[in-house]
Amino acid sequence: MHIKNSILRLQPGIHILRHPKVGAALTVSRSPGDASCTGQIEILSTEKTHGAILRDGSDCIVLLVKNAPVDMLITAYLAAADDAIPALRLDTVGLDPENRATERDSIDSKNGTIRINELGVSLIGHVENMGDIVVSDGALLGDPSKQYRLEGFQVVWPDKPPSVDISYFVSVEGAGELPSATVGNFCGTRGEARRITEVTFSLIGVDAAKFELTGTAHFSGGFQTPISSGLTLSGPSGFEHLTCLSLKVLPSSTKTTAGNPWLDSPKTKTFKAGGKR
């Protein structure tokens, strides 16, 4: 048995945790976290989870986080060390606008507080040889011409409606799929020289159908792929590494109903054939 752990920070709100239907069992427990992660937790779960274990798609744990963030320890129990780590599925409903202010004020980097726009989506990322940088309004996070690794990032959306969120997760060289994150939380690595080879963004929440994602994921070799909710993006071989991202959220241009994120597979791969080189 091989055990791999990851920390997931949850802001105040209602969080629905589910297994991705295939893969190893996951356990969910509270991590000591840092001094700011002192929130209270109330748990509602399906019977066989005992409030802590996710084995398959029928298992569900609902966490109500109040007053302050909490750090949760997600543990995967793998039969072999090189088995893929199941990507925890997470849906979130924010409680009030004060929650978003808490997220905004908690964002910092090695060089101090990072300032972001009060409106729309911003991206904060850790780029090889560049450190932590921030961009807004659909600008590129990273430089595709330099082929530097974009090793990790977080999405910030200060004016986010409480009934919608963005879930995102990545596959990292040597670690497989990491647990999914939501707005205000970091996904990936920093300073470990690891490559992100896949990235997925999904709109979630009861009003997800009222919005749409737009932007581009750039991979080494000059390949670029348009971002679409629920699609896992990679280069054509799957070995190219992520070099930069752009992301915006717009009001939906269609009146179609969004698919259920627990029923629709987020693993459909897409890339632009004959990408720019």
Domains of the chain: 1-86 (2.60.120), 96-277 (no CATH)
* pLDDT (average), residues 176-202: 89
Mean pLDDT of 221-226: 90
Q: Is the pLDDT of residue 238 over 90?
A: no
| Helix or strand holding residue 104 (H, E) | helix 97-105
Cβ(245)–Cβ(150) below 8 Å:
yes
d(CA 48, CA 101): 36
For residue 255, pLDDT beyond 60: no
pTM of the predicted model as reported, rounded to 2 decimal places: 0.56
pLDDT of residue 191: 76
The rounded distance, in Å, linking the Cα atoms of 266 and 230 is 5
**What is the band of 247 on the pLDDT scale with cuts at 50, 70, 90?**
very high
Cβ–Cβ < 8 Å for 163, 205: yes
Mean pLDDT score across all residues of the chain: 80
Closest CA to 10 of 126, 165, 207: 165
